[in-house]
Amino acid sequence: MRIIAGRYRGRRLAAPEGTETRPTADRARQALFDMLMHAPWAEDAVRDAAVLDVFAGTGALGLEALSRGAARAAFIESGRPALAALRANIAVCGAAQMCRVVAADARKPPPGEPCGLVFLDPPYGQGLVPAALAALGRAGWIAPGALIVAEVAAADPAPTEAALLAERRFGAARICVWRS
């Protein structure tokens, strides 16, 4: 797994052993960021953005956003092996000054600063997106009109009742995009 484009292009990212962390595939990340950089509804959502990467795992989504011009990124992750990989990946990219790592359950986050681009990549099949979004909203992490990107299992129901701006399937995964 590597950073696809931008200032950190080609940097290899560490992932914890085992199946608990499921990083977004390079191909899916490339397609997602192509959408976010070029779709008319996205309005170049990445450049200068405050990014929140929830259920961050390796941090690949947030680090890819930083590589492509986001101003800052916050990562929320609760798993110890994933936190170690996340911190190592931030160091490999030399991005520590633009990052905040929050070791917490996304359904019980501490107060945060509003972010306009929010990635959620929870464990599949547990319906965690709605609960996490509600908690993050109460804690101040989500800016009004934020672009929300959730990766869920292809067979899972849509994670929102809001109108989807985009939806793409990548093998066992489905990426859904909407505005808060």
CATH number, domain containing residue 159: 3.40.50.150
CA-to-CA distance for 65 and 5, rounded, in angstroms? 9
d(CA 100, CA 58): 14
Q: Nearest-CA neighbor of 7 among 69, 62, 58? A: 69
5, part of any domain: no
Strand partners, 142: 115
User: What is the per-residue burial (b if ≥16 Cβ within 10 Å, else e) of 21-48?
Assistant: bbbbbeebbebbbebbeeeeebeebbee
Range of the domain at 91: 26-179
Instruction: Note whether residue 19 is domain-resident.
Output: no
Q: What is the mean pLDDT of each run of 10 residues along the chain (180 residues)?
A: 93 80 74 90 90 96 97 97 96 97 97 97 91 97 96 88 90 91
- Tell me if 147 is assigned to some domain: yes
Radius of gyration of the chain from its Cα atoms, rounded to whole angstroms: 14
CA dihedral 139, 23, 178, 49 (to 10 degrees): 60
Q: How is 120-168 classified by DSSP, letter by letter?
A: E-PPTTS-HHHHHHHHHHHTT-EEEEEEEEEEEETTSPPS-SSPPSEEE
Model pTM score? 0.94
Q: Is residue 3 part of a domain?
A: no
Q: How many domains does the chain have?
A: 1
Question: Is residue 116, in this structure, part of any structural domain at all?
Answer: yes
Output the pLDDT for position 22. 61
158 lies in some domain? yes
DSSP-assigned letter for residue 96: G
How buried is residue 171: exposed, middle or buried, by Cβ count under 10 Å (0-12/13-18/19+)? exposed
Residue in this structure with the two tokens 């990426």, named with its chain if needed: 175
Instruction: Give the pLDDT confidence score for residue 172 in this predicted structure.
Output: 86
Residue at 12 is within a domain: no
- Predicted confidence at residue 44, as pLDDT, reads 79
The predicted structure's pLDDT at residue 136: 98
How crowded is residue 94: how many other Cβ atoms within 10 Å of its Cβ? 11
Which secondary structure element, helix H or strand E, spans residue 91, and what is its range?
helix 80-93
Residue 146 lies in a domain: yes
Q: Tokens in use for 162? A: 């809001």
Beta bridge partners of 175: 151, 168
